[in-house]
Structures are given as structure tokens and as C-alpha cells.
Chain A
């Protein structure tokens, strides 16, 4: 009578499917509402909208343009954040001078100072790249810096007493110990790059997902607009899955974390 309750085990994949169906249902409800329907047309209309954009030869070039800006801005951000994080960790004056300003600027929406960058650099790709560079740099620099500071000092001591010099310690201890934080920084940096996209392409860009969303706004083409928005979301998800995979491969030595 008081037998074990039947436990239904649902796999993660099924949960994902359920979550997807729930979202579809919500989306459908929004699309049939009188007011909400104007902003949230349902999937077939969105698909039509995107098809129109393909016919206008816009979608592909928008995608490529944005991705190029993201890759360049993120790349510059990464290449500058990594050494800066080490400088901040090793030299107190560098940290004391720079850290407060990173934290200050980080809290300002990129959209606010985007026009300043455009006024300075003119229209075209350069201001977009620079804006993404600034945002990704700040996020990644802070994350990597905290990672370096959190390295277990006993490991450095252990290496030292085994005869390691400063160069050995950097390559054999500091760098591998920082890898998990670098990967977290990459994940956060990519996400920052995408969220900055709209601001980055807000003024003067000739193509791009962010720029297109703004122009479609002026013509009330919500079908295509929603399609573009979803597209940015999909790109973000794919990038995050990719970094997850790399992370799992490179940091399998870590003690298990929750979740």
C-alpha cells in the first residue's frame, strides 16, 4: 500500500523539448493577442519576414558583417585583456590605477557612449569593433584578473621548493591554473560582444544584425525584426555551447563543481 511512489525520470533532452514547447505556446498566445500580436507575430510570419530579408540580399551580409565585428572586437578584447590582467595581478600600481576605472565604465551602458566613438572614429566598421573591444576587454580583464589572484599560493610554493624559477612558475603553474578563468572570461566576453552589438551598430554601420534591427524598427517590419532578434539569441546559445565543450575538455582536471 505504502509502496514506493513511482518516480518518473525525465531526461534533460525531454525537459529541453518541454521548455521549447512551452515557449512556443507562450509565443503563440502573444501572437493572437490584439496588441501583443503586432510586436510578436508567430513563427510562420517571422520566417516569411526573414525570407524577405534574404531576397533583399540583406540577411547574409548582415550576419557576416556582425560576426566580423564581433570576432575582431572580441579578438582585440581578449588579446589586450589577458596581458593587462596579468599586469594588474603582478603590479599593484597598475591595479590600483586601472581597476576603479574599469569598474566605473563597466556600469555605463555602451549605447550611451557609442556616439562619442562614432564622432571620434567616423562611420563604418571601426567604431563597432572598438566599442565591442572596450566592452569585452573590461569584462574579460576583470574575470581573468580575479582568477590569477585566486591561484592557490601553496601550489606556487610547492613548485618553488621543487626548483622552479619564475618562468617555470608562470608556464607550469600560473597559466594552467588560470585556464578555467580564461575560459569563463571568454564565455562572458562573447556574451558581452553580442549584447553590445546593437549599440555598436547603432550609428553609422552599413550592415549588421544590430543595424538592421534599428532600420526595420522605422518601417515597423516586426516580422523580420523578431527574426533577427531570435537569430542573435541563437548565435549566443551556439557560442556558449561551444565554449562549454572547450571548457569541459580543457578543465576536466578540476574538482567537481556543483551544477
Chain B
């Protein structure tokens, strides 16, 4: 690694998460350790059921770890916090609110004056290019547009960390590519710490500085791969020989894990 000084933003220490259901105990995470640096873009890949969403939920404060701890800037994470924005795969827009009302939600929860909330909302709606849809309801938008609104809504709270749970998983290939490019651009400008979960290895290698491969049952980190492809990146990066090399390597590991799960 280059000797640049980068602060640890998120520290995940020995996190174990068990679920107690009717059919006994499921271990979703079994001792996960990971440091995420400030402004870093980390992608987590792994077969479904490897606990990657659980890990995100623990970081978001939506689930409590059975044991182990997470720290943000050295402070123990307990419960949700506005410094950690979350983007969900299912968009989770409030259907009874217009685009601008959705994006304003976070600032409103901070009890900012209405005019200021609107101003902030407009800024981020513009960032995702939906100025003309400010007063539309979610049902009038396509999947890609909905996810743009969700991203704008997360940004409007000015979080220090963005937690994204397969945000593009439900989109078609073209929309997905477009949103990846947009996200890269935004990240290069705003440099927020991004923790991004995906099952798409292409997506992970394209976006991330580091890709975390998780193994399933019980979920733990198998390997962390540095993606040494310089930014700015875009869809053309996918033709880079280094990209293909890394992608093949990671893909093989994930596929082995998938086969493990199927056994």
C-alpha cells in the first residue's frame, strides 16, 4: 500500500450476528473484522445468504450485533444515526409523498426551516437530474428514477457514510450502468465513505477501491482485494485488461463460495 495517511472511518470488530427463529439459531455473521478508511469506496460481494445485508444493517444500526462492536470515528455505533445514510434495494420511497417531499424528509427531521429543506432537496434532486419530476409521485417514476430519488434523499442528510444495499440490483442493465457512472462521478466529487453491497462482481470492481469477498454459512470475510485501477473510472474501464483480470479472480472466488452454499 502507498504510505498515504488515511484515517479509519469505520471499524468492525469481531461482529457476530445470530438470529433465533422457530427452527433454531442461524449464524448470519461469525466474527467479522474490517476497517473502512475515510472517503473509501468499499464493495462487499458474496453469494446470497452470506450475511452481507446483515452486516450493512448492523452498521446502519437497524440490527444489533449479538456480540462484537462497530465504531464510527472511534465512537461505538448504537442505533441509527443521520451520519450514516442508507440506500435500499427496494428504493423505500414514501409513496404518498412527492419527489421533493421525499428528499426533504431528512432535513425536516433535523427540524430545519421549510425553505431551507426545500433548497437542500432541490440541490440534490438536481444532482440526480430529476428537476422536472420534483412534484411527481413515486408511482409515476421508473425504477432507475426511483433509485435516483432515494440516492438524493440519502445525500440530502449530508451523511458522512453511505451504506448501499444492492441499490442497483432491481434495475435493467442499461439503467444500472448509467447509475453506476453517476454514482462514480458523485463519489469522485463528494468523496463520502461508501459501503456498497452487491452480488454483481462487475459492479464491485468498477466502483470500489477495495472489494470484500464474504463466505457463506456462517458469514465471514474470506478475502479483501485491492482494486488498483485509477479513477476517474467509467463504463469504458470494463475493457481495461487489469479490470478483467481482477474481475475473473474475484468472480472465481465468489463462484466457489456459491458452490459451497449449494452443497
Contacts and interface: CB of A to CB of B under 8 A. Distances in A.
A233 B85 CA distance: 54
A53 interface: no
B157 A173 contact: no
Nearest to B105: A162
A162 B88 contact: no
Interface stretch (B5-13, B21-29, B89-97, B191-199): B89-97
A87 B137 CA distance: 31
Interface in B86-110: 86, 88, 90, 92-97, 105-106, 109-110
A248 interface: no
Interface string B136-151: 0111000000000000
B151 to A, nearest CB: 12
Interface of B is mostly: loop
Nearest to B138: A253
Interface stretch (A14-22, A39-47, A153-161): A153-161
A92 to B, nearest CB: 16
Interface size of B as a range: 20 to 34
A179 B82 CA distance: 28
Given A154-B92, A254-B95, A160 B62 contact: yes
Contacts of A176: 94, 96
A155 B88 CA distance: 10
A172 B102 CA distance: 11
A162 B95 contact: no
B121 interface: no
A161 B90 CA distance: 15
A253 B95 contact: yes
Contact of A162 (B62, B90, B139, B153): B153
Given A176-B96, A253-B95, A253-B137, A163 B88 contact: no
A233 B109 CA distance: 48
B170 to A, nearest CB: 13
B237 interface: no
A57 interface: no
A138 interface: no
A163 B153 CA distance: 12
A1 B222 CA distance: 70
A163 B110 contact: yes
Interface of B: 60-62, 80, 82, 84-86, 88, 90, 92-97, 105-106, 109-110, 137-139, 153, 157
9 contacts: A154-B90, A154-B92, A158-B94, A161-B60, A162-B82, A162-B85, A163-B110, A176-B96, A253-B95
